[in-house]
Amino acid sequence: MASRTLAWLVLFGLLVALALRLHSCVRATPEDTLAREQATYQRVRSLILDRYIKEVDERGLFYGAMEGMVSRLDKHSRFLPPELYERLKTDTTGQFEGVGIEWNPDESLGLVVLTPLQGTPAFRGGVYPGDKILAVDGVRTEGMNREECGRRIRGPVGTKVRLTLLHEGTSRPVDVTLERSVNEIKSVPVAEMLGPDYVPPAAGSPAGEPAAKVGYVQVAHFQPKTAADMDAALARLEKEGLQALVLDLRQNPGGLLKAAEDVAELFLKDGVIVSVIARDTAGAEGPTRITYATGEKTHPFYPLAVLVDGESASASEVVAGALEDRGRAVLVGSKTYGKFSVQDVFEVPLNNWGESALKLTVARYKTPTSPCIDGQGIVPDYVVQFAPEQQRGLLQSRLARHVQDNDPRAAPGAQAPKANGGEAPAPFVDLQLRKAVEVLLQQVKAARK
């Protein structure tokens, strides 16, 4: 009898212990969960550092852990180490600290300047397209990659850097000393009237007058000053007699949502521009913020065509979708990228490693009359697909234009010096732009009847 009682007591004790264990698991606090996760991370990290066959960089391990965690969310959320965070700030603010040098994209040429940027210390200080950078502050660049050379050239605003350059077509190096500053990147790099290459002369016009004055504006990014720059560009073209406009958003990856809303308002006098759908406290689809045009900055109505392609994303799609849905513009080109989500950027300080950030998807958006088509993109009204050679032609023509516009030696309208001794490329015929102009001229003609 005693043994049976003892057995029951032991069994009861085991059941109580199991119940307590289960209770503790069920009632585990967030702090307990976090502590277990941190302990696991520390264990794995220690094993890698102590036992992996090669020596491992601790910073790289940390970045990898953060990037792996965020990659489980969606393709637009990212952990940004300091260097990538700096690039993001440059893209979104349109400002950067340095001397204003862009590298030639051809890696085989080595440390060769593509162009200085207008208004920067490099532009004012005697740096030219095609220059080879031989040394930075006396340190020779032989064997140095672009990243290391760039780090040596960058530095605090107000400090100076000495570059040893070999100008193209010369054999004697020169030294230029530049003072680092805060510089701006143009988000509206081109705003002009189109010439006879795209706008034919009016029928029966002996003086070769164009069929209509068609303006062309390219937006490269959506940054804080984009709407103001666009507003000024439109005002200038309107003074020149603008009758129709091509807005080029091709290869524009987006930028600030507020900038896109402000640009759309330049063309819409009322109604919805975009709806942003956030998350509620329970994690489900929550409140919607709707942005309406106020009509305070709207420009006069004239036929409008928007050029888009597979690289037109995010803020570009906000503008293109709003103008198309509201019947204000026709879209020409190829289907857009399809990024209908909104990301916020949260700074993550890393002490002596610098400032990193978390770029996190926090909302989705939809155009005025369409559902959210994230991952699908917008199909233009007039589809004009580019073959690979045409896409390369567009990139090359834009690059050549960029170099010419930023070359300190080139007078306005002059032929830019040939970069790196190469032959001038054959003139590129932009079939998407040509189609956009064709549609606009039809609209102008119809309005005159």
Distances (CA, A) of 420 to 102, 114, 134, 170, 358: 15, 9, 16, 12, 40
The tokens describing 138, both together, are 């006396």
Task: Check whether residue 161 and residue 294 sit in a common domain.
Answer: no
Q: Is the pLDDT of residue 178 over 80?
A: yes
* Token pair of 350 as six digits: 């890393």
Q: What is the CATH number of the domain that holds 328?
A: 3.90.226.10
Residue after which a domain boundary falls, among 131, 159, 184: 184
Q: Are residues 204 and 146 in the same domain?
A: no
Last residue of a domain, one of 184, 209, 243: 184
Task: Please report, for the domain that includes residue 99, its CATH number.
Answer: 2.30.42.10
Residue owning tokens 């309208």: 413
pLDDT tens digits for range 34-76: 788 788 888 888 888 888 888 888 888 888 888 998 899 888 9
What's the confidence (pLDDT) of residue 281?
A: 52
pLDDT of residue 425: 57
Q: Is 160:177 a contact under the CB 8 Å cutoff?
A: yes
Amino acid identity of residue 15, one-letter, is L
Report if residue 58 sits inside a domain. Answer: no
Both 426 and 440 in a single domain?
yes
- Domain end (from 184, 217, 236): 184
- pLDDT tens digits, residue range 2-42? 555 545 544 445 555 555 565 555 556 666 777 887 888 88
Q: 321 lies in a domain?
A: yes
Is the pLDDT assigned to residue 211 strictly greater than 90? no
Provide DSSP, 311-330: T--THHHHHHHHHHHTTS-E
Asked if the structure places residue 166 within a domain, the reply is yes
Q: Give the range of the structural domain holding residue 266, as residue numbers without chain letter.
A: 190-346+365-448
Q: How many angstroms separate the most distant Cα atoms in the chain? A: 124
Number of domains in the chain: 2
CA–CA dist 156, 448 (Å, integer):
58
Q: CA-based Rg of the chain, rounded to a whole angstrom?
A: 29
Strands (E), 280-413: 285-292, 304-308, 330-333, 341-349, 355-366, 382-383
Please count the helices (runs of H) and the strands (runs of E) in the chain: 11, 19
Question: Tens digit of pLDDT for each residue in 114-131?
Answer: 999 988 999 999 999 999
| pLDDT value of position 156 | 87
242 and 269 in a common domain: yes
CA 423, 110, 189, 264 dihedral sign is positive
Helix (H) or strand (E) holding 88: helix 82-93
128 lies in the same domain as 202: no
Global confidence as pTM: 0.84
Does the structure show a pLDDT above 70 at 282?
no
Residues with a catalytic annotation lie at 314, 325, 339
Pair 249, 219: CB distance under 8 Å: yes
